[in-house]
C-alpha cells in the first residue's frame, strides 16, 4: 500500500483548497397546500417547529445506563431515549472537540471545511449562523462555542459558559434556556445547548448529601473496560468520570423540565448527542468506537414512536442539513451530511450505508492522520505514516495513562498494546459484531483479506469523491 507522509503545512494547505414513525403530529409546521401544478403536496410531510440540540462534552455511547453500562446512573437520559429514538450508530466525524463541532455547524467533514484540527473553518464555508438567518428562525447558544472564527458563528443570543457555571450548573443552564425561549416568543427556534460535563479535569469526586444519589462512585466497584489496565488511578478517574455523568444527567432532566414548562416540547425536534467519546486512552482523539460512537437520542412527539431503537448510521454532520430542511433553507452548495427528516418520518430506512471517520491532528504533537470506514459489521482503519509517536492531551493529563506507563515496564502484554496505540500499524480491521471492544486486529488474518480489501477500496472511493487531500488518487 502506498502511504503518504505529510506535514501539518501540507494538510492545512490541502484543506484550504426500519421506519421510526407513528402518525404525523398535529403540532407540526404546516406545509403549503397542494396546487394543480404540484399534486405531490397532496400529502403534507411533518416538519418540526423548533430544533434543540443538547451536546455533552466527551461522552461515549456506552456511557448511559440504558446502553448497558452498570456504572452509569442516567435516568433522565434513559427517559429521553424512551420517549423517542435511540440510535446505536450515532457518530462524530472526528474524535476531537473543535473539529467535531465545526463539522456540526457546517455540515462538512474537516477536510472540506478547513478545520482539520484546532484551526478556523475557511472563509468561504457557510455556517449554522450564516445560513439560519433571523427572518427564518431565532438562533441561540448556551455554553462554549469552541469553533473559530467567532465572527462566523454569531448566534442571535449566546449565553457564555461563565454565566452558567462553566456550563456545568444545571439550574443556571435551565434558567438561561427558559429565558431564551421566552425571549424568542412566537418565533421558530434553533437552539444549541453545549454542556461541559463529563469533560476533565477530574479533581475531586462530587458530593451530595442525599443518600439516594450514587455519588461519589466507589472506585472499587467500577467496571474497568477490557482495553484498560486495572490500576488504582484508572479506577479513580473512571469513578470521577461517572460522577460527572451523573451531574450531566441531572442537567438534562432540568432541560427537559423547561421544555415541558414552556410548552414547546410537543413542537420540538430534540437531539441529544456528544462532541466525541470519553476522555481516556483508546477513546477521545482516536477513531476507535469509544472515540467516535456517541449518544444520539432523538425525540419528535407524535412522529417518532417512543422507545424506538435504530441501527441506522447518523452523525453530528447531519444536524445542519436537518435544520436547513426544517426551516426551508437552501445551502446552495453540496454538504457532506444528510437531512434526517426523511429517516425520522420513516420515508427511508437509512441515509448512508457505511460511516467514515477521519483524524488529522490534535493540540499535541505533529499530525498523526488516520481514516476509518465501518459497515454493519466490520471497521477498517488506515493509519498514515507520522514523524513521531501519537500524542494527545488525553495522555498528557491522564493519571490513567501515566499509571499504565509504570505498569507496562513489567507487563509485556500491556506494553505491546500501548506501543501499538502510540505507533499505529498501517491498517487495522475489527469485527465489531464479535469484538465490540476492538481488542483483536484482523488486518493480518488471511481469512479476512477480502473484507480488508473491500473496505480499503470503499474508503479510497469515498476519499476521492469528497476530495480528501489524503486520497491516494
Rounded Cα gap, residues 200 and 414, in angstroms: 25
pLDDT at 28: 37
**Sign of the alpha-carbon torsion through 5, 469, 105, 275:** negative
Rounded Cα gap, residues 110 and 103, in angstroms: 6
Q: What angle do CA 25, 30, 36 make, to 5 degrees?
A: 125
Rounded Cα gap, residues 81 and 76, in angstroms: 9
- Residue partners of 239: CB distance under 8 A and separation at least 6: 205, 216, 217, 218, 219, 222
pLDDT at 17: 44
All cell numbers assigned to 211: 443518600
Rounded Cα gap, residues 29 and 242, in angstroms: 39
The structural domains of the chain, with segments of one domain joined by +, span: 46-350, 357-465
pLDDT at 20: 57
Range 46-350 classified under CATH 3.40.720.10: yes
pLDDT at 43: 53
What's the first-to-final CA gap in the chain, in angstroms? 13
Q: Which helix (H) or strand (E) holds 180?
A: helix 170-184
- How many CB atoms are located within 10 Å of the residue 265 CB? 19
pLDDT at 30: 35
- Residue partners of 251: CB distance under 8 A and separation at least 6: 168, 170, 173, 174, 195, 197
pLDDT at 386: 85
Bridge partners, 374 (sequence order): 355, 379
Q: What angle do CA 169, 200, 269 make, to 5 degrees?
A: 55
Rounded Cα gap, residues 334 and 321, in angstroms: 10
Coil, helix or strand at residue 89: strand
Which residues of the chain have a pLDDT value below 70?
A: 1-43, 473
Query: Is-above-0.85 flag for pTM?
Result: yes
Coil, helix or strand at residue 355: strand
Given the C-alpha cell 484540527, which residue does it identify?
Answer: 117
All cell numbers assigned to 362: 490534535
Rounded Cα gap, residues 222 and 230, in angstroms: 10
Amino acid at each position: 500500500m502506498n502511504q503518504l507522509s505529510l506535514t501539518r503545512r501540507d494538510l492545512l494547505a490541502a484543506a484550504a483548497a426500519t421506519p421510526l414513525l407513528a402518525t404525523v403530529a398535529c403540532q407540526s409546521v404546516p406545509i403549503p397546500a397542494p396546487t394543480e401544478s404540484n399534486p405531490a403536496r397532496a400529502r403534507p410531510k411533518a416538519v418540526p417547529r423548533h430544533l434543540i440540540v443538547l451536546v455533552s462534552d466527551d461522552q461515549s455511547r456506552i456511557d448511559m445506563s440504558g446502553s448497558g453500562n452498570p456504572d452509569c446512573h442516567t435516568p433522565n437520559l434513559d427517559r429521553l431515549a424512551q420517549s423517542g429514538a435511540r440510535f446505536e450508530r450515532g457518530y462524530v466525524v472526528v474524535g476531537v472537540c473543535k473539529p467535531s463541532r465545526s463539522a456540526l455547524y457546517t455540515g462538512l467533514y474537516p477536510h472540506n471545511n478547513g478545520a482539520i484540527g484546532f484551526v478556523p473553518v475557511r472563509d468561504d464555508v457557510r455556517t449554522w449562523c450564516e445560513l439560519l438567518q433571523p427572518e427564518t428562525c431565532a438562533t441561540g447558544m448556551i455554553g462554549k462555542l469552541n469553533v473559530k472564527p467567532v465572527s462566523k458563528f454569531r448566534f442571535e443570543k449566546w449565553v457564555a459558559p461563565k454565566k452558567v457555571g462553566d456550563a456545568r450548573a444545571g439550574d443556571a443552564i435551565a434558567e438561561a434556556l427558559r429565558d431564551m425561549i421566552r425571549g424568542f416568543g412566537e418565533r421558530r427556534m434553533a437552539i444549541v445547548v453545549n454542556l461541559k460535563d463529563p469533560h476533565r479535569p477530574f479533581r475531586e469526586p462530587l458530593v451530595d448529601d442525599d443518600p439516594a444519589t450514587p455519588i461519589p462512585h466507589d472506585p472499587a466497584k467500577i467496571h474497568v473496560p477490557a482495553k484498560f489496565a486495572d490500576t488504582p488511578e484508572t479506577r479513580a478517574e473512571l469513578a470521577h468520570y461517572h460522577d460527572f455523568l451523573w451531574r450531566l444527567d441531572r442537567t438534562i432532566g432540568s432541560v427537559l423540565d423547561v421544555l415541558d414548562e414552556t410548552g414547546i416540547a410537543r413542537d420540538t425536534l430534540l437531539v441529544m448527542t456528544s462532541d466525541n467519546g470519553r476522555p481516556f486512552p483508546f477513546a477521545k482523539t482516536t477513531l476507535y468506537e469509544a472515540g467516535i460512537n456517541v449518544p444520539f437520542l432523538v425525540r419528535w412527539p407524535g412522529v417518532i414512536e417512543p422507545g424506538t431503537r435504530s441501527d441506522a448510521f447518523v452523525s453530528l454532520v447531519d444536524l445542519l442539513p436537518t435544520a436547513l430542511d426544517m426551516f426551508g433553507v437552501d445551502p446552495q452548495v453540496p454538504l457532506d451530511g444528510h437531512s434526517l427528516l426523511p429517516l425520522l418520518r420513516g420515508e427511508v430506512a437509512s441515509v448512508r450505508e457505511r460511516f467514515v471517520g477521519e483524524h488529522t491532528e490534535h493540540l499535541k504533537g505533529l499530525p498523526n492522520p488516520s481514516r476509518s470506514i465501518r459497515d454493519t459489521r466490520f471497521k477498517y482503519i488506515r493509519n498514515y505514516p507520522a514523524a513521531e509517536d501519537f500524542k494527545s492531551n488525553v495522555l498528557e493529563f491522564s493519571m490513567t495513562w501515566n499509571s499504565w506507563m509504570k505498569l507496562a515496564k513489567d507487563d509485556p502484554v500491556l506494553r505491546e498494546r500501548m506501543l501499538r496505540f502510540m505507533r499505529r500499524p498501517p491498517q487495522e480491521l475489527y469485527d465489531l459484531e464479535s469484538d465490540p471492544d476492538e481488542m483483536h486486529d484482523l488486518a493480518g488474518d488471511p481469512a479476512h483479506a477480502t473484507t480488508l480489501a473491500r473496505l480499503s477500496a470503499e474508503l479510497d472511493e469515498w476519499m476521492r469523491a469528497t476530495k480528501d487531500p489524503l486520497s491516494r488518487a
